[in-house]
């Protein structure tokens, strides 16, 4: 079983919360432009996330920065490497904080595959930048992409992007297009058809039906109270 929608209808925070409450296992696949992100759940707990070159909390933070991305949730129990260990609510709070930063940084660094290049010779005596950014500037060689610089410095990609953005504002570097992607075959990401629980889908479908009914009937919107939060009883 799978469910499709968009973050305009079901915000990512609510999707994660409902997955936790329903103890669902499966994969949330999110389409962000030409990139696909994934969040894997096991018994309701976020276990792994990836989006392009980002993994773990960095990937979820980047996905949270999208407000109108489309998604599909596929129930299953595919084994994945664990890159998320925090409490789900901590993950949500940290990811939402990162999303605010990503929303600003992507205006400067559209993706992690772009390659920073120096605009000219750098005279350390005439350049005033913070100590945190010097290692990033020193790693700019016109060959390595942003994510490759992050890996070489063992720094979080979001911190490297922040440093590159500062260097762009100071006109010390420019960005050139990424190298052509490798068009080799990619493995399938469908985690299988083993459905563990369907309460998650019931909640989302019921909410979507109610929203459509209320949107199409103005008398209902005027006379009915606000749609109550799901209690999780489902007849139990």
Phi, psi of 179 (to 5 degrees): -65, 150
Q: Is 30 left (phi over 0), alpha (psi -120 to 50) or beta?
A: beta
Q: What pLDDT, on a 0 to 100 scale, did the predictor assign at position 225?
A: 45
* Residue 147 per-residue DSSP state: H
Q: Tokens 């205006």 sit at which residue?
A: 107
Q: What is the pLDDT of residues 22-38, one digit of tens each?
A: 999 999 999 988 889 99
Domains and CATH numbers, the chain: 2-105+189-223 (no CATH), 115-176 (1.10.10)
Q: How confident is the model at residue 236 (pLDDT cuts 50, 70, 90)?
A: very low
Distance CA(96)–CA(100), nearest Å, equals: 7
CB 200 within 8 A of CB 19: yes
Percentage of the chain lying above the pLDDT 70 cut: 74
β-strands 45-51, 35-42 pairing: antiparallel
Q: What pLDDT, on a 0 to 100 scale, did the predictor assign at position 45?
A: 94
> Which pTM was predicted?
0.72
Poorest-confidence range of 15-19, 158-162, 185-189, 198-202? Answer: 185-189
The mean pLDDT value for 99-115 works out to 94
Higher pLDDT, 124 or 161: 161
């Amino acid at each position: 079983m799978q469910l499709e929608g968009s973050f305009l209808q079901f915000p990512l925070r609510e999707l994660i919360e409902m997955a936790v409450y329903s103890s669902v296992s499966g994969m949330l696949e999110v389409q962000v432009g030409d990139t696909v992100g994934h969040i894997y759940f096991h018994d309701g707990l976020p276990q792994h996330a990836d989006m392009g070159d980002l993994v773990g909390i960095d990937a979820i933070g980047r996905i949270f920065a999208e407000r109108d991305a489309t998604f599909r949730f596929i129930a299953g129990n595919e084994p994945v490497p664990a890159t998320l260990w925090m409490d789900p609510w901590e993950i949500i709070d940290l990811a939402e904080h990162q999303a605010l930063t990503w929303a600003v940084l992507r205006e400067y660094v559209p993706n992690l595959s772009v390659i920073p290049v120096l605009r000219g010779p750098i005279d350390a005596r005439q350049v005033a930048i913070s100590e945190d950014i010097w290692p990033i500037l020193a790693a700019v060689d016109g060959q390595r992409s942003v994510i490759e610089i992050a890996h070489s410095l063992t720094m979080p990609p979001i911190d490297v992007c922040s440093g590159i953005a500062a260097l762009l504002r100071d006109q010390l570097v420019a960005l050139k297009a990424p190298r052509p992607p490798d068009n080799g075959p990619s493995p399938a990401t469908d985690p299988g058809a083993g459905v563990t629980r369907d309460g998650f889908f019931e909640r989302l479908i019921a909410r979507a039906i109610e929203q459509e009914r209320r949107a199409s009937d103005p008398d209902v919107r005027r006379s009915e109270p606000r749609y109550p939060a799901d209690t999780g009883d489902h007849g139990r």
